[in-house]
Structure 1
Amino acid sequence: MGYLSCNAESAIATCDQYNWDLTKKPRKLRNKPFKIKQFSYSDLHSATNGFCQSNFLGKGSHGSVYKALLDDHKLTAAVKKTTTSDTSCTNNPAENEIEILSRVRHPRLVNLLGFAGDSEERKLLVVEFMPNGSLFDLLHSSTRPPGWARRVRFSLQIAKAVQFLHSSNPPVIHRDIKSSNVLIDGNFNARLGDFGLALRGHVEDVRVKSTPPAGTLGYLDPSYLAPCDLSTKTDVFSFGILILEIISGRNAIDMNYSPPSVVDWAVPVIKSGDYAEIFDARIRPPEDTEAMQQLAAVAAKCVRSTASKRPGMAEVVECLKKVNKRMNSLIWNNLGRRVGDVCGVKCEPLDESSEMIKTPRNGSRRNRKVKVSSVTSVELGSDGIGGVSDRVVRSKSIGSVREIKFVPPDLSRVERRRAGLAVKIPMVRLSKSRSMGVLQSTRLLNNNNNNNNNGVVKNPNVKELEESKLLDEVHFV
C-alpha cells in the first residue's frame, strides 16, 4: 500500500504555512517554525535502556513504542521504532509522519520532538510522552471507565485536533482516526497521534497523487472507495464512529453483538429517540440527558452515508462546545450544592417555642448560633395567671428544661392545698461545660394585675420553698 510521495513536497511547498505570504503577514503574528531535533541512534538506545521490555509501551501502526529519558533525564519522551527498513517515501509511514509532523504542531496533537536512524536505515521517531495510555484502553480495559463529563471533553478535544488539521494550509487528512490513536497526556487531555497514513495537501492535489484507500476496519468511510473519493469528510465519518464508541462503550466492530457494527446498531436507535439505549451501561446514566442526546445527534450526522451531507469539523466543534459548556455548568452546580451541605449550618426545625439567635463572645472561638428555648405553656390552675415568658439561653451540652408550673406566691400553703393546685418547681439539670450558657431569670406574668409593672412578679424566695418542702425538686449537677 502506498502513501503520499515525498515528491509532492515540491508541489505544495509554496502553500506551506511557514513559507507563504510572508510579506502580507506580520512577523509577530506568524507561526514560528519549531525545531525538530535529530538524535543519534546511540542516544535513543541509551535513553530506552537498549529498548528493553521494561521500557516497552505498546505497539503502533508501524512499529513498537518505548519510553525514553533524554537530556540527562530531564525530558521524558516516547520512541517509535519502525519495523521496516524501506526508506522510500512512497511506502514508509515513518517518513510520512516525520514529513507531516515537522510542518504542523498543536496542543491537541501528539507532537514530534525529533528523529534518528539506525544502522539498517530504519527511522526512529521521538514524540511527546503520553503517560495515561490510549482512549481505547480507557474505554474498554479500565476498571473505572471515564464519566460523562470527561467523555464529552475528550470528544471536544479530538474534534479540535481534527479541525486544526483540516484548516491547516495545506490541509492534512488523517485517514486513521480511532480510539487507539487517541492518547491521554499527563493532564488527562486527549491528543490525536499516529500520522503514518495521513496525507497533506489540497484535496485536488492529494486526489491526483493519492494512494489507494487506507484506514482501519470499522472506522473507514464506506464511500471512500477510490482515491478520487478522498476528502476531509472521510475523517468526519471516522470521528463520528469514535463518538459513538465514546457514548456506548462498544467497539467499532464487535462480533459479540448483532449487528456487530456500532454505527449499524446505534444510528437506528438514535433516530427512534431511545437515546438511553446507547448510553454506556457500566456507568450511571447522565444527569443531563439532553446534553448527551445532542452529542449522539452530532455523531449520527457525522456518519451519514452521503459525504456531502456530513457537517464540517468547524460545525462539529461549535456543537460540542455547547455540550461541554452544559456539562461543566452541571458539575459546578452539583459542586456548589455539595459545598453548601458541608459548610452550611444545619438548623433543627423551629417551632413556636424556639428560635435561633446569635450570642457574641468577644475573644472566643465558640461564637456560634445557639438555641433559645421559650417556655410558653404554663398551667396555673383555676386562677388562670397569664403565660410565662421564660427564656433559657443554653448550648447543646446543657440539659433540657422540663415543663414549669407556677402558682401566685402570695397564696398561703393552706390556700394552695385547698385550691388543689399542682405546684411544680422549675427543674433544670445543668452540666459543667465551657460552652454553658446563661440561665436567665424567670418572669411570671399576672393577667389579673392591672398596675404599671405589667404583671411582673418576683420569683418565690428560697425560704418559702423550704417551707413547702419542695426544694428537693430542684437539682444542680
Structure 2
Amino acid sequence: MGYLSSCNAQSAIATCDPHYRHLKPVAITHFHYSDLLAATNAFSSDTFLGKGSHGKVYRATLHGGKLIAAVKTTKLTKSPNNRHPTNCTGCANCTSPADNEIEILSQIPNPRLVNLLGFATDPNDNKLIVVEYMPNGSLHDLLHSLTKPPGWTRRTRFALQVAKAVHTLHSSNPPVIHRDIKSSNVLIDEKWNARLGDFGLALRGHVEDVRVKCTPPAGTLGYLDPCYLAPEDLSAKSDVFSFGILLLEILTGRNAIDVNFSPPSVLDWAVPLIRRGDFAGICDRRIGAPPEAAVVRQIALLAARCVRSTAEKRPSMAEVVECLEMVKKRIRASPLWSGLRRRVARVESALVAWEECENECDGDGSEGVVVRMVSRKVWSDDDDEGWNNNRVMRSKSIGSGEGGGG
C-alpha cells in the first residue's frame, strides 16, 4: 500500500516521505482491526457519530476506557481497470483520501487540528483512521441549532481559532492546502475550542509541485473557490475563499447554500448588503447584532475581502488572523465599557433621586432615611457584591450625617 508498506507501523510516517525527512518524526499507532471492532462494539449504531466526507465515524473506547477516540471508516472504490482508486487525491502517487489524511496529519500535529492517533486496515484493505474525539459536535451543528445558537463572543473565538488552524497549514514547510474548509469540518473539543479536521482532500507541497498540478479541483459546493477551475489554479487563496464563506455563515447563521432562501447562496445574498453598509442586516436574527457595531462591521468586511473574485486581492491567512485578533480584543473591551456606562447611569440616577428627596423633605431629619432607601434600590443589582456593600455604607453615612442623628 505505497508508503505504508515500506514503514514500520509503530514508526513515524515522516521517515517515508522525502518532503518531511527534515522534521521531527511523529509516531502513530497501527491498531489491529479487531481492537477497533471491539472498541466500537462492532461499529454499532450506539457508537455512530455521523458521516464524514469519505465514510462513517464512530466513537471508540480504547486502552481499557482510558482513551476515547473517533474512528473514521473509508471505502476504496476501484476504477474500471481495477488499478487505481477512483477517489484518489493525486495522480502521481495515487493515494486514497484515507492514506492522504494519514500522511498529512502525521506530519503536523497541532492543538488547532483534529489530530491523528493511528490507523488500521480492515479485511478488504480499507483504511480506518483513528483521530481525537471531539465531544461537542461540529460548528455546523452549533450554528444551525434550533435551540441555543452561540453568541458573538463564542462565534468570534471560533472564527479566530479556525483562522489560526488554516494559517498553521499554510505556513508549514511544505505548505498544506486543506481544500475543504467548511463548518461541518470544524469540530468542537471538550474545552469548547474549534479544531479543523477532515484532511482527505488536503494537498501538501508547493504549488509548482507536479502532484498538485495534476490533481483535479475538489471541494464542497458553496465553499469552493470559483477561480479554482483547473489544477494549476490551486493556491492558498482557495482556502481563504472557503474561509470567507465560513465567516459569512458565522455572521448570518445561514448555510453556504440554502434553497429555502433567494438567492440560495449566502455569498450572493450577504455581499451586496455588506457593500451597502447594511451590517446589521446580515446578522443572525436569532441573536441580533452585537452591542459593539464595529465588531460585525469588521468581520463582514473581512469576509468580503476573503471572497473577492480575484484571488490575488484576497488577504493571506496571516492578515485574517491579525484582523480577527483585533475583533476579539474589541469584544473583550466592550463588556467593560458597557458595565462602566451602566454604573455611570446608576450614579446619575442616584444623584437625581437624591436631589428629588432633598427638595421633597421638610428638614425634619427624614431625608437620611429616604436616601438610604433610594441608594439600596439603585445599587442592589450591582454585579460586584463588594462594590454594592461599599456604596450602601457610603449612602448610610451620608444620610446619617445629613439627618443629624439617624
Q: TM-score, normalised by structure 1?
A: 0.68
SS in 1 for 2:209: helix
Other-structure match for 1:125: 129
Q: Distance in 1 between matches of 2:243 and 2:232?
A: 20
SS in 2 for 1:392: coil
Other-structure match for 2:388: none
Other-structure match for 1:331: 335
Which protein shows a greater Rg?
Answer: 1
CA deviation after TM superposition for structure 1 residue 230, in Å: 0.5
Other-structure match for 2:389: none
Other-structure match for 1:176: 180
| Contact 1:158-1:190 at 8 Å conserved across structures | yes
Counting aligned pairs with the same residue, the percent is 60
Other-structure match for 2:68: 76
Long gaps (5+) in structure 1: 1-5, 21-30, 358-366, 376-390, 394-477
Q: 1:123 to 1:340 in 2, by over 3 A?
A: farther
Other-structure match for 1:372: 400
CA deviation after TM superposition for structure 1 residue 239, in Å: 0.5
| Contact 1:218-1:252 at 8 Å conserved across structures | yes
SS in 2 for 1:80: strand
CA deviation after TM superposition for structure 1 residue 335, in Å: 6.2
**Which of 304, 322, 325 is matched with 1:321 structurally?**
325
Other-structure match for 2:354: 349
Other-structure match for 1:407: none
Other-structure match for 1:392: 405
| Contact 1:207-1:227 at 8 Å conserved across structures | no
| Contact 1:185-1:191 at 8 Å conserved across structures | yes
CA deviation after TM superposition for structure 1 residue 227, in Å: 0.3
String of CA shifts for 1:118-168, please: whole Å, max 9, x gaps. 111111111011111011111113411111111111111110000000001
Q: Distance in 1 between matches of 2:158 and 2:271?
A: 21
SS in 1 for 2:99: helix
Other-structure match for 1:456: none
Matched, 1:62 2:62: no
| Contact 1:207-1:230 at 8 Å conserved across structures | no
Q: 1:209 to 1:374 in 2, by over 3 A?
A: closer
Alignment of 1:293-332 (within 5 A): 293-332=297-336
Matched, 1:36 2:28: yes
Higher helix share: 2
Q: Distance in 2 between matches of 1:207 and 1:260?
A: 35
String of CA shifts for 1:318-354, please: whole Å, max 9, x gaps. 0111011101112344567889999xxx897365554
CA deviation after TM superposition for structure 1 residue 90, in Å: 1.8
Q: 1:60 to 1:269 in 2, by over 3 A?
A: same
| Contact 1:85-1:122 at 8 Å conserved across structures | no
| Contact 2:203-2:212 at 8 Å conserved across structures | no
Other-structure match for 1:26: none
| Contact 1:47-1:70 at 8 Å conserved across structures | yes
SS in 1 for 2:64: coil
What amino acid is aligned across from residue 392 of structure 1 in structure 2?
G
CA deviation after TM superposition for structure 1 residue 33, in Å: 3.5
String of CA shifts for 1:167-191, please: whole Å, max 9, x gaps. 0100000000011101111111111
Alignment of 1:443-458 (within 5 A): none
SS in 2 for 1:77: strand
Task: Say what the alpha-carbon RMSD is for the aligned residues.
Answer: 3.2
**Which of 189, 192, 195 is matched with 1:185 structurally?**
189
Q: 1:118 to 1:172 in 2, by over 3 A?
A: same
